[in-house]
Amino acid sequence: MMASKLAVQMYTVRDHTATAKELSETLRKIAAIGYRAVQLSAVRAMSGTTPEVGAGEARRMLDDNGLACVATHRSWDGLAEHTEDEIEFHRILGCDFTAIGGIPKAFGERGAEGYAAFVRSAAPTIEKLKAAGIGFGYHNHAHEFQRLAETAEPEMRTLYDIFIADGGPDFLLEIDLYWAWHAGIDPAALIRRCAGRVPVVHLKDKEVVAGQGPAISAIGEGNLPWDVILPACEAAGVRWYAVEQDTCRRDPFDCLRSSYEFLSAQDL
């Protein structure tokens, strides 16, 4: 069951996507491991104003390898100011979910008020995307879990709680479980709070390396309690599990294989 829901967040292999040839070979390797899907993010051959690989060519590469694009990371400015172009980009890819990788600086530097303002500002764009069949989500790191001053509402403890409380059902959450754990948040409890709003999660593990301290690792090689987290994800309606490893201390494809073998063996 898990194997059919596993995707690769392409940021993991960003150094292997500089050209169309590299991207094609990288997708071939991902499919050969057993993954069924990818999230297109930080694909260098698709970046810039005149990318070597456009949406159509990327779709052909995906189809050739039996892979689906289940998510993207796009810029907020692009989504808000060129919404129709973004809708067409996702239509070509056959992708129905996009997320941003963090709050725009102009909102984030204003703290809680800025987070609330972003939720309000994003609503019209989210509505347009939804009308085209595309969900919008927010990908967290650790800083969104900065504690707020004491409030009368017991669940309004962090900046991220503003998204949960004010965002509504169409403000989806691409929860990065590692960064929640890193910030001292229980990932399983967080997922349960956001049930029905988390179509995609990002997975990576956290290990302690002798002489170095904490490090990001392949899934199953660290200390996150997957036996609790994964059932919580299933119960919350997560559709795709995107393996993402920001840094790899060995070959990233070997890390992806290790994560796949661990996750696909889980009995949920």
- The answer to whether position 189 is within a domain reads yes
Q: What is the pLDDT of residue 149?
A: 79
Task: For 88-127, write each residue's pLDDT tens digit.
Answer: 999 999 999 999 999 999 999 999 999 999 999 999 999 9
Range of the domain at 228: 3-108+175-264
Task: For 127-156, write each residue's pLDDT tens digit.
Answer: 999 999 999 999 999 999 999 977 656 677
Task: For 63-87, write each residue's pLDDT tens digit.
Answer: 999 999 999 999 999 999 999 999 9
Tokens of 19: 């050209």
Task: For 228-245, write each residue's pLDDT tens digit.
Answer: 999 999 999 999 999 999
CATH number of the domain at 247, please.
3.20.20.150
- The answer to whether position 137 is within a domain reads no
Instruction: Please tell me the total count of domains within the chain.
Output: 1
Task: For 243-255, write each residue's pLDDT tens digit.
Answer: 999 999 999 999 9
260 and 243 in contact (C-beta within 8 Å)? yes
- The answer to whether position 160 is within a domain reads no
- The answer to whether position 86 is within a domain reads yes
- The answer to whether position 138 is within a domain reads no
- The answer to whether position 163 is within a domain reads no
Closest CA to 65 of 14, 20, 24, 16: 24
Mean pLDDT of 28-34: 98
Task: Report the distance separating Cα 173 and Cα 169, nearest Å.
Answer: 10
- The answer to whether position 156 is within a domain reads no
Q: Is the pLDDT at 198 greater than 90, yes or no?
A: yes
- The answer to whether position 152 is within a domain reads no
Q: What is the pLDDT of residue 152?
A: 53
Per-chain mean pLDDT for the chain: 96
Q: What is the pLDDT of residue 175?
A: 98
Q: What is the pLDDT of residue 200?
A: 98
